[in-house]
Amino acid sequence: MPELTMDKLVALCKNRGFIFPGSELYGGMANSWDYGPLGVELKNNIKALWWKTFVQERLDMVGIDAALIMNPKVWEASGHLATFTDPLVECRECHERYRADQIDLARPCAKCGNKGTFTEPASFNLMMKTWIGPKEDATAVAYFRPETAQAMFVDFPQVLNASRKRVPFGVAQMGKAFRNEITPGNFIFRQREFEQMEIEFFIHPSEWEKWFAFWRGEMQRWLGLCGIDAARVHDLEVPDGERAHYSKRTIDLEFDFPFGLKELYGLAYRTDFDLSNHAKFSGREKDVTYTDPISGEKYVPHVIEPTFGVDRTLLAMLVSCYDEEQAPTTGEGGETDTRVVFHFPKTLAPIKVAILPLSKKDELTSVARPLAERLAKRWRVEYDETQSIGKRYRRQDEIGTPYCVTVDFDTLNDSAVTVRDRDSMKQERVKLDELEGYLKNQF
Ligand code: GAP
């Protein structure tokens, strides 16, 4: 298969409506991306599957959806205000800024080519600042959350009370996080505004190794559900001194992106760092202390945190599921051409079914359009009556639609349609009144 370059992927995403450059009408805004009609479907499907897999299907999990902007004391307690920093250097000539840990400071500036001109590395805090209310002074400063995790710690006493869960149990949340990254880039890989899906799993401290291994297995299972190529995923045991300030053990799950091996997800043993710090800073120690209902033991639960980036999941899926194949055209002469196809898992594909009347004649569209409307009550459906059927199949392959349903002139006699499978390209004749049941079995 020809190499999938980022240029090719970015162009395809823009042309087909997965991901657009943000604010394009105004000349764009660097490193800002908008999810288009197909991208938003794919992203929503990923999030829905994650919630089903890790919240709905587990009796030991509950979810929350907390405010994006929390009391600023939260970020003091969590350590983010003091330590959530990257080392920043600036070229003295052209003032381009870099992360000191990502470049060789002995080499010339990549932008202007001048050598030995970098400033000394300085700690740069990644928190996105804002002001609450009409006064822009120090008393009004607040921060957009840099991770969804903290609300799950801060809400721990209320969740425990309301849900009547017993340790071990987990709290899950998904949503936006903001970081003032020094060097955003590589398409949606590193953004200043992105989405996370996170679990804080509360455990007895003696059981941390067991639960760490359990969640590593669950993360592996999740990769499979998303169609992410397991051969491209590698564990990185993050060494002492390089882990986040709260972690006693971290594994980064790295993915082999076209721009190199980079972090996809993380799994961390956060100990009782967060709960204990919130107890200290809020003065409410009693509220984060858990009493075991059987043994009566009182302790602050420890936490295993599997964390998943939504945007990086989507990017790893695009890379894993992309293919270019030689395939027969619909012509008579046995010719082949290149078909571009996304082999997304069927349940995650942005469009599940395309309804394609063979011609624009009323006889066919009067069957096809109501059929599309009926199926759209269940699945995301696309209706397309333009261009040759071969071109329409290729277009649907290119956006990963698992099934194309063709309404042709035979339909008027046999009340059946042709269903084409994206992956095998096999075609089957299915009775109109059996079509919904047929498709239901595929998803
Ligand atoms: N609560 C732990 C935490 O936030 P992290 O490794 O900093 O850990 C978790 O972030 C995940 O969020 C990453 O594994 C990645 O998938 C995603 N992520 C982090 N920074 C990102 C960025 N700037 N742009 C896109 N995704 C990002």
- In tens, the pLDDT along 376-392 reads 999 999 999 999 999 99
Q: pLDDT per residue over 166-224, tens digit each? A: 999 999 999 999 999 988 999 999 999 999 999 999 999 999 999 999 999 999 999 99
Long-range CB pairs of 49-53, under 8 A, 24+ apart, other chains included: 49/225, 49/226, 49/347, 49/348, 50/174, 50/197, 50/222, 50/308, 51/172, 51/174, 53/221, 53/222, 53/225
For residue 124, report the distance from its CA to the centre of ligand 1, in Å. 17
Q: pLDDT per residue over 95-151, tens digit each? A: 989 999 889 998 999 999 987 689 999 988 999 999 999 988 888 999 999 999 999
For residue 412, report the distance from its CA to the centre of ligand 1, in Å. 54
- In this structure, the residues whose C-beta lies within 6 A of any atom of ligand 1 are 147, 149, 179, 181, 190-191, 194, 196, 198, 263-266, 305, 307, 309, 311-312
**Mutate which of 46, 85, 263, 314 to test ligand 1's pocket (most atoms within 8 Å of Cβ)?**
263
Q: pTM for the complete prediction?
A: 0.94
Q: Whose CA is nearest to atom 5 of ligand 1?
A: 266
- Alpha-carbon distance of 231 to 182, in angstroms, equals 31
What pLDDT is attached to residue 391? 92
Confidence of residue 2 (pLDDT cuts 50, 70, 90): low
Task: Locate the DSSP E strands across 17-113.
Answer: 19-21, 33-35, 61-63, 85-90, 97-99
Residues near 248 by beta carbon (within 8 Å), at least 6 away in sequence:
269, 270, 271
- Alpha-carbon distance of 403 to 419, in angstroms, equals 7
Confidence of residue 286 (pLDDT cuts 50, 70, 90): confident
- Across the chain, mean pLDDT equals 95
